[in-house]
């Protein structure tokens, strides 16, 4: 039997949709990450001598935002009771957005994203449809991949690494899969980074996840070991990316590439020293800084490509 809903939103009636509620429903940090990644891949395409126009960028950006809203929206609809414990400020959990309105937003976002993709080509439809399918499978029964820690990790990291990086760059490259080495390096780096984000997001949610019998890595092994493991593989990934810069001469500015990744590694380790896995509020601050490093990675690769 599921535990009773948290008292914060109990009995609270849904209010009219406000811009603030809509913005929180879209999960701003994921929107920012999507925006920066698409813009950076556009800059990388320009650095490779391609000429995708501003209209192409605008279309991809809008489709990416809509896919983002659809995926995080489905998750909030399915996890509203859990969010009343773990994330009571989200609009559905707080009673600021009606479930029916949330479902309409998700359906509209998904349909418009698919329509935009269909107007661009087969590769775009495949990328958008794959991202939406994984997003639904992550949250919605009978699959509900979020209930399996390994499946949740893979679904989050694969969407960020493959659907975003290869799908978006392929669009800017005119529908081909002629991908330069630095985009492959970025994709390879995004896989462990996405995995780290997937496990770190559960560290401050142990109490609610345990109550709802979600066997996340943090529930199974404890927040502190999961935190150390995630920071460890991120550190190794940064070192690998710095070393990869030596092989990217001609496609990227090697000095900026190496120095940037080592600086990001230093920031990660410095912030990790102040993280407290047993303090949800303080750890959430560290988690958002990890997202900041994710944003910076795309900016760093784009800058290195422009100055090659």
Number of neighbouring beta carbons within 10 Å of residue 191: 17
Lowest average pLDDT, out of 30-44, 162-176, 244-258, 294-308, goes to 162-176
- CB of 191 within 8 A of CB of 163? no
CA distance 123 to 243: 32
How many C-beta atoms surround the C-beta of residue 254 within 10 A? 17
Do 63 and 163 meet the contact criterion of CB atoms below 8 Å apart? no
Q: What is the pLDDT of residues 229-238, one digit of tens each?
A: 999 999 999 9
Q: In sequence order, what are the residues at sequence separation of 6 or more whose Cβ sits closer than 8 angstroms to the Cβ of residue 196?
A: 230, 231, 233, 234, 290
The mean pLDDT of 143-157, rounded to a whole number, is: 89
pLDDT score at 121: 83
Place of tokens 């984000």: 197
What pLDDT sits at residue 274?
93
> Is residue 276 predicted with pLDDT exceeding 50?
yes
Average pLDDT (168-191) is 91
Give CATH for domain 16-176: 1.10.357.140
* Top-ranked range on mean pLDDT: pick from 17-26, 144-153, 215-224: 215-224
Label residue 149 by pLDDT band (50, 70, 90): confident
Burial class (CB in 10 A: 0-12, 13-18, 19+), 10: exposed
pTM: 0.89
Sign of CA dihedral 65, 67, 68, 74: positive
Which tens digit of pLDDT belongs to each residue from 27-53?
Answer: 999 999 999 999 999 999 999 999 999
148 three-class SS: strand
Residue 5 has pLDDT above 60, yes or no: no
Residues 6 or more apart whose CB falls under 8 angstroms from that of 49 comprise none
Arithmetic mean of pLDDT, 129-148:
93
**What is the residue-averaged pLDDT of the chain?**
91
How many C-beta neighbours within 10 Å does residue 23 have? 12
Task: Determine the pLDDT at residue 177.
Answer: 72
Show contacts of 5-8: CB within 8 Å, 24+ apart: 5/81, 5/84, 6/84, 6/85, 6/88, 6/93, 8/84, 8/88, 8/93, 8/94
Q: How confident is the model at residue 16 (pLDDT cuts 50, 70, 90)?
A: low
The three-state secondary structure class of 249 is: strand
Of residues 176 and 94, more confidently modeled: 94
Query: Per-residue confidence at 17, pLDDT binned at 50, 70, 90?
Result: low
Domain boundaries, the chain: 16-176, 180-308
- Report the percentage of the chain scoring pLDDT > 90: 81
């Amino acid at each position: 039997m599921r535990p009773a809903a948290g008292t914060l939103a109990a009995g609270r009636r849904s209010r009219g949709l406000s811009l603030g509620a809509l913005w929180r429903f879209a999960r701003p940090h994921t929107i920012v990450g999507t925006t920066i990644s698409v813009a950076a891949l556009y800059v990388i395409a320009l650095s490779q001598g391609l000429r995708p126009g501003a209209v192409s960028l605008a279309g991809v950006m809008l489709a990416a935002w809509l896919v983002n809203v659809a995926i995080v929206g489905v998750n909030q609809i399915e996890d509203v009771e859990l969010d009343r414990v773990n994330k009571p400020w989200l609009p559905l959990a707080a009673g600021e957005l009606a479930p029916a309105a949330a479902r309409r937003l998700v359906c509209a976002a998904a349909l418009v994203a698919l329509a935009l993709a269909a107007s661009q080509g087969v590769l775009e439809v495949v990328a958008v449809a794959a991202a939406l399918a994984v997003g639904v499978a992550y949250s919605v029964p009978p699959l509900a991949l979020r209930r399996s820690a390994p499946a949740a990790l893979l679904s989050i990291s694969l969407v960020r690494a493959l659907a975003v990086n290869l799908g978006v760059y392929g669009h800017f490259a005119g529908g081909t899969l002629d991908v330069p080495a630095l985009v492959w390096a970025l994709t390879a780096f995004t896989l462990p980074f996405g995995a780290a984000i997937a496990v770190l997001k559960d560290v401050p949610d142990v109490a609610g996840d345990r109550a709802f019998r979600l066997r996340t890595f943090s529930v199974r092994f404890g927040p502190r070991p999961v935190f150390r493991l995630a920071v460890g593989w991120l550190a190794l990934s940064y070192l690998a990316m710095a070393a990869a810069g030596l092989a990217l001469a001609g496609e990227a500015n090697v000095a900026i590439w190496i120095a940037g990744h080592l600086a990001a590694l230093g920031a990660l380790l410095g912030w990790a020293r102040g993280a407290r896995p047993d303090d949800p509020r303080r750890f959430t601050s560290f988690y958002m800084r990890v997202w900041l490093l994710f944003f910076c990675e795309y900016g760093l690769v784009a800058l290195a490509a422009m100055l090659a």
